[in-house]
Chains A and B, each alone.
Chain A
Amino acid sequence: GAVVSQHPSRVICKSGTSVKIECRSLDFQATTMFWYRQFPKQSLMLMATSNEGSKATYEQGVEKDKFLINHASLTLSTLTVTSAHPEDSSFYICSAREKGLAYNEQFFGPGTRLTVL
């Protein structure tokens, strides 16, 4: 149980285009989903927290107009990188917190490698 999937696993796009990444909780309902980015050989940096049915909360320094997050249902959150540029190339990982759990364990997706040419 507690499986989180991401799609696509890898995407290459041209500079200026937008890319959407999906994060799904496959066998549980996720009230909260988190989006992280990870640069090569570095740790995960939290970008934003999204709660189902409400606006995402972005971490300081993260451009909300560039990284659009939608959490439309209890099993799906999407991250759209708008007008992508080469500096947006990174590994994006989502995680989900199961509804009803008393503690804050998060289940992580396998990640999406974004390369912007």
Chain B
Amino acid sequence: AQSVTQPDIHITVSEGASLELRCNYSYGATPYLFWYVQSPGQGLQLLLKYFSGDTLVQGIKGFEAEFKRSQSSFNLRKPSVHWSDAAEYFCAVGDMNRDDKIIFGKGTRLHILP
């Protein structure tokens, strides 16, 4: 079955430091992959998505992610985080075989130290 694993429940980094959030997926074919961000009490905002083509994807707010088929990974990165990046981050995979449902990982809570 399709699944998404975010191994880190919490990540704490200092403001200005680099960030990498890990995501691994299980899917039988080339997946549609997404990263979303959710601030407390808010809905989801799409950071970036991968459907095909260049495996390094640029998103909003200075985020990027790299699709690595050999590792079944789609890690999210940012070279220098800002205090406003503190939020919950969800990796997700789109399941084309199930009416295009999106399956979410459990999320990673990002904390920023001043």
Contacts and interface: CB of A to CB of B under 8 A. Distances in A.
Instruction: Check if A and B associate.
Output: yes
Interface of A: 6, 32, 34, 41-44, 46, 49, 57, 91, 93, 95, 97, 103-111, 113
Interface in B70-114: 90, 94, 96, 99-107, 109
Nearest to B95: A104
Interface string B23-50: 0000000001010100001111110010
Please classify how large the interface on chain B is, using the bins under 10, 10 to 19, 20 to 34, 35 or more. Answer: 20 to 34
Contacts of B32: 103-105
Max chain A C-beta neighbours (<10 A), residue from B42, B101, B103, B105: B101
A97 B100 contact: yes
Interface of B: 32, 34, 36, 41-46, 49, 51, 90, 94, 96, 99-107, 109
B99 A49 contact: yes
Main SS at interface, chain A: strand
Max chain B C-beta neighbours (<10 A), residue from A32, A104, A107: A104
Given A43-B90, A43-B104, A110 B49 contact: no
Given A43-B90, A43-B104, A103-B51, A110 B99 contact: no
Contact of A57 (B43, B99, B107): B99
Contacts of A41: 109
B41 A113 contact: yes
